Amino acid sequence: MTTPTLYGIKNCDTVKKARKWLDDKQITYNFHDFKTEGLSTELLTAFVELSDWQIMLNKRSTTFRNLSDEIKNNLTEEVVFNAVIEQPTLLKRPLLNINDNLQVGFKVDTYQELFKK
């Protein structure tokens, strides 16, 4: 197994829970903070290839609510892609890339299944 990478923002409560769970289980992982390391078009393209952008888009976020109606009423893949590049907090968090599978969000049961020994 390659080392999984957890993507998110370090001050996000759900990301904190995922990191604590991984740390408590002594699971080695890389952490990519969108605030400090950014989100490249290549990385977002890889996410879209591994998952559906509609699953990854956080429509409950303040960032989404603050988008213009023009964007919210025209959620094509291209519009969403450009909006997420500008504002990575539009992505649900955390995103966990494990063996080229992208897990969106954090649920203890799901992580336990993913990291069975």
Q: Would you please indicate which residues are annotated as catalytic (active-site) residues?
A: 12
Q: DSSP labels for 49-112? A: HHS-HHHHB-TTSHHHHTS-HHHHT---HHHHHHHHHH-GGGB-S-EEEETTEEEES--HHHHH
